[in-house]
Structure 1
Amino acid sequence: MPSKVSCLYLLTVVCWASALWYLSVSRPSNSYAGQPTIPVRRAHKAGKNGTFSNVRARTLNPHDFGYLVNEAKKCEAEAPFLVILISTTHKEFDARQAIRETWGDESTLADVRVVTLFLLGRSTDAVLNQMVEQESQIFHDVVVEDFVDSYHNLTLKTLMGMRWVATFCPKAQYVLKTDSDIFVNMENLIFNLLKPATKPRRRYFTGYVINGGPIRDMRSKWYMPRDLYPESKYPPFCSGTGYVFSADVAELVYQTSLHTRLLHLEDVYVGVCLRKLGIHPFQNSGFNHWKMAYSLCRYRRVVTVHQISPEEMHRIWNDMTSKKHLKC
């Protein structure tokens, strides 16, 4: 009788062999450029999938999207020390699989419970939605809400993650929000930065802090219209490539977002919410939001590195785990 692993592997191969053919056919893409997507509002459902009881009746920015795929029982057995929220897109299966097999593996650290989740919106392509649903049935680490998955809806994706933590995992101690092309040095993150043996922090937020202002050039990927954000400076914010916060901040930011005008620049928007809350993000030079040339010693000192391919992810992980005896 074939093992469970063999069956899962066979199912994955069949699904993704079909996917490779499907994706090779020219078709309209999920555009990641242009004006912000205007989400279609759904009738809000009360209950555990809904918002929280202490939200005022009228909201400026109601986040009332239903879950299309959810893992509501992920934290029921035991509250995790760390929840990892990874922003991804439907076609990035290779990146998700590389993370599952390397730094995002929930069983990597025997003494520290970690929960890993991949965050997506709804694709305009029904086949891609079906493939992600099948993927979730195999790995049980995908959460999807009913908004269009696009670059300009990244803020909704992060708010979805905040909402999920506050609703389904409120007893977690810390949360890492990152992207699917990021390598995370888990030992540095957990044992050097968060330190499980110490008292959990509250209202804590850290990453690579940016102090900047809006770009008014319409040709820029980060263009910010003056009528949407009239101020000349942004509040300090952490690069969306990777930041860490205490789990209590998830509900605080989510609640604040309901009464804060939505901005399409996700990391800037979280910074705006933090300013309203009086929470100041701490600078940590270990969070790199750029590509770094690889060397074992250099990567041992960081927390995150940007623009890492699935192949590089495996190579770096294997190197770091098999050469722990080498001194720098």
Structure 2
Amino acid sequence: MDQAAAGVEKQRVIEGLEREETPSLPSAESCPAGCDGTHALWYLSVSRPSTSFVGQLSIPIRKAPKADKNATFGNIRTRSLNPHDFGYLINEAKKCEAEPPFLVILISTTHKEFDARQAIRETWGDESTFPEVRVVTLFLLGRSTDAVLNQMVEQESQIFHDVVVEDFIDSYHNLTLKTLMGMRWVATFCSKAQYVLKTDSDIFVNMENLIYNLLKPTTKPRRRYFTGYVINGGPIRDMRSKWYMSRDLYPDSKYPPFCSGTGYVFSADVAELIYKTSLHTRLLHLEDVYVGVCLRKLGIHPFQNSGFNHWKMAYSLCRYRRVVTVHQISPEEMHRIWNDMTSKKHLKC
């Protein structure tokens, strides 16, 4: 082999070693009854090899460790691929101290969306609307590059005490960090909650339908539960698309089933599972796809629910009574819809 060919071959092998490859794990459909996430635990326990060169190119050999029957997320010791070590700039650490909530609402928002946050506080996100069940509402943000906006959000937080901010730049491509921030917050400060809703600031949520028809407070709490509008698709390779995914980041032709990030609900135990799985899972900028990747590693299959809509729907009282979420709702529309639905509860459809 001549020098040029040897150089090309060496570079090809180096690139192959440097690429973080994720072992394919059994899907939820193939997971046997009683599956408790040991597939994910096995993956987390695999140590990554190192690469060394001594004269000739040396290719390390991966050795699969023996399965540890006592392995848990708490006792696994392995290098973290994505250490989520962003500090809290604003936190509400005592939100759940008085009484564990039935439902935690995590709302992804941006600094300029004050009107949307206020509309949610005054409508479906009002924590006092359903006195028989405890609801905690939180708005999730990163750090703005505009110091004035950061100061305005801090003042807003001092008034409403419902904002959490972590020290990463708030941007579209950091939405995954924002979702993981919410998972981390629930796992750390509200682990005894029963359910979590993750949604966005332009979503209308029919809380009555969500609480009483879907989650049902009088029934035994579910575990390892995840539901929403389930999407089965693959990566878009067109660089002009908002949802572009490069082959380098995600080489597979299909995504695992995932719930639209506009709104999904899960049992609170899943928050810690996803957060800790993310520490060892290569980050993707599409947060809903990334959560789906983590769920696949955990052997948790998201359930389809027709009440979750990731598109805009023309308003009618009877139609909106049947939904859980509706997308692309302005603050003004949110007020109109909420007022109409609450004032006409006596009307039958």
Judged with a 3 Å threshold, the aligned counterparts in structure 2 of structure 1 residues 5 and 196 are, in CA distance, closer, same or farther, namely closer
3-state SS, counterpart of residue 265 of structure 2: strand
Q: Is the 8 A contact 2:28 2:301 kept in 1?
A: no
Q: Tell me how far apart the structure 2 counterparts of residues 249 and 25 of structure 1 sit (CA, whole Å).
A: 22
Could you state the TM-score of these two structures normalised by the residue count of structure 1?
A: 0.84
Judged with a 3 Å threshold, the aligned counterparts in structure 2 of structure 1 residues 26 and 308 are, in CA distance, closer, same or farther, namely farther
3-state SS, counterpart of residue 57 of structure 2: coil
Deviation at 1:60, TM superposition (A): 0.6
Deviation at 1:58, TM superposition (A): 1.7
Per-residue CA deviation, residues 6-42 of structure 1 (Å, 9 max, x unaligned), is 99xxxxxxxxxxx999999999999999999999999
Q: Tell me how far apart the structure 1 counterparts of residues 181 and 208 of structure 2 sit (CA, whole Å).
A: 27
Judged with a 3 Å threshold, the aligned counterparts in structure 2 of structure 1 residues 28 and 198 are, in CA distance, closer, same or farther, namely closer
Per-residue CA deviation, residues 73-117 of structure 1 (Å, 9 max, x unaligned), is 000000000000000000000000000000000000010000000
3-state SS, counterpart of residue 146 of structure 1: strand
Report the identity percentage.
Answer: 91
Judged with a 3 Å threshold, the aligned counterparts in structure 2 of structure 1 residues 173 and 32 are, in CA distance, closer, same or farther, namely farther
Gaps of 5+ in 1: 8-18
Deviation at 1:326, TM superposition (A): 0.8
Q: Tell me how far apart the structure 1 counterparts of residues 280 and 41 of structure 2 sit (CA, whole Å).
A: 42
Q: Is the 8 A contact 1:55 1:255 kept in 2?
A: no
Q: RMSD between aligned alpha carbons?
A: 13.8
Deviation at 1:318, TM superposition (A): 0.2
Judged with a 3 Å threshold, the aligned counterparts in structure 2 of structure 1 residues 315 and 284 are, in CA distance, closer, same or farther, namely same
For residue 58 of structure 1, what is the aligned residue in structure 2?
A: 79
Q: Tell me how far apart the structure 1 counterparts of residues 196 and 57 of structure 2 sit (CA, whole Å).
A: 27
3-state SS, counterpart of residue 54 of structure 2: coil
Q: Tell me how far apart the structure 2 counterparts of residues 140 and 219 of structure 1 sit (CA, whole Å).
A: 39
3-state SS, counterpart of residue 22 of structure 1: helix
Judged with a 3 Å threshold, the aligned counterparts in structure 2 of structure 1 residues 197 and 23 are, in CA distance, closer, same or farther, namely closer
Q: Tell me how far apart the structure 2 counterparts of residues 35 and 199 of structure 1 sit (CA, whole Å).
A: 62
Judged with a 3 Å threshold, the aligned counterparts in structure 2 of structure 1 residues 280 and 184 are, in CA distance, closer, same or farther, namely same
Q: Is the 8 A contact 2:228 2:259 kept in 1?
A: yes
Judged with a 3 Å threshold, the aligned counterparts in structure 2 of structure 1 residues 115 and 131 are, in CA distance, closer, same or farther, namely same
The answer to whether residue 127 in structure 2 is matched with residue 106 in structure 1 is yes
Q: Tell me how far apart the structure 2 counterparts of residues 32 and 94 of structure 1 sit (CA, whole Å).
A: 58
Judged with a 3 Å threshold, the aligned counterparts in structure 2 of structure 1 residues 50 and 65 are, in CA distance, closer, same or farther, namely farther
Gaps of 5+ in 2: 1-24, 32-39
Judged with a 3 Å threshold, the aligned counterparts in structure 2 of structure 1 residues 23 and 197 are, in CA distance, closer, same or farther, namely closer
Deviation at 1:213, TM superposition (A): 0.1
The answer to whether residue 246 in structure 2 is matched with residue 225 in structure 1 is yes
Q: Is the 8 A contact 1:166 1:250 kept in 2?
A: yes
Judged with a 3 Å threshold, the aligned counterparts in structure 2 of structure 1 residues 102 and 158 are, in CA distance, closer, same or farther, namely same
Structure with the greater alpha carbon radius of gyration: 2
Judged with a 3 Å threshold, the aligned counterparts in structure 2 of structure 1 residues 211 and 27 are, in CA distance, closer, same or farther, namely closer
Judged with a 3 Å threshold, the aligned counterparts in structure 2 of structure 1 residues 5 and 238 are, in CA distance, closer, same or farther, namely closer
Judged with a 3 Å threshold, the aligned counterparts in structure 2 of structure 1 residues 28 and 234 are, in CA distance, closer, same or farther, namely closer
Q: Is the 8 A contact 1:206 1:245 kept in 2?
A: yes
Q: Is the 8 A contact 1:88 1:180 kept in 2?
A: yes
Deviation at 1:253, TM superposition (A): 0.2
Q: Is the 8 A contact 2:27 2:296 kept in 1?
A: no
Q: Is the 8 A contact 1:212 1:233 kept in 2?
A: yes
For residue 49 of structure 2, what is the aligned residue in structure 1?
A: 28
Deviation at 1:306, TM superposition (A): 0.1
Q: Tell me how far apart the structure 1 counterparts of residues 50 and 152 of structure 2 sit (CA, whole Å).
A: 16
Q: Tell me how far apart the structure 1 counterparts of residues 320 and 52 of structure 2 sit (CA, whole Å).
A: 34
Q: Tell me how far apart the structure 2 counterparts of residues 251 and 55 of structure 1 sit (CA, whole Å).
A: 14
Q: Tell me how far apart the structure 2 counterparts of residues 247 and 268 of structure 1 sit (CA, whole Å).
A: 19
Q: Is the 8 A contact 1:32 1:150 kept in 2?
A: no
Judged with a 3 Å threshold, the aligned counterparts in structure 2 of structure 1 residues 291 and 282 are, in CA distance, closer, same or farther, namely same
For residue 113 of structure 2, what is the aligned residue in structure 1?
A: 92
Per-residue CA deviation, residues 199-250 of structure 1 (Å, 9 max, x unaligned), is 0000000000000000000000000000100000000000000000000000
For residue 214 of structure 1, what is the aligned residue in structure 2?
A: 235
Deviation at 1:56, TM superposition (A): 3.0
Q: Tell me how far apart the structure 1 counterparts of residues 185 and 311 of structure 2 sit (CA, whole Å).
A: 28
Judged with a 3 Å threshold, the aligned counterparts in structure 2 of structure 1 residues 268 and 193 are, in CA distance, closer, same or farther, namely same
Q: Is the 8 A contact 2:227 2:305 kept in 1?
A: yes
Judged with a 3 Å threshold, the aligned counterparts in structure 2 of structure 1 residues 232 and 22 are, in CA distance, closer, same or farther, namely closer
Q: Is the 8 A contact 2:27 2:299 kept in 1?
A: no
Q: Tell me how far apart the structure 1 counterparts of residues 246 and 264 of structure 2 sit (CA, whole Å).
A: 26
Q: Tell me how far apart the structure 1 counterparts of residues 205 and 228 of structure 2 sit (CA, whole Å).
A: 12
Q: Is the 8 A contact 2:51 2:60 kept in 1?
A: no
Deviation at 1:50, TM superposition (A): 22
Q: Tell me how far apart the structure 2 counterparts of residues 162 and 35 of structure 1 sit (CA, whole Å).
A: 46
Q: Tell me how far apart the structure 2 counterparts of residues 278 and 5 of structure 1 sit (CA, whole Å).
A: 9
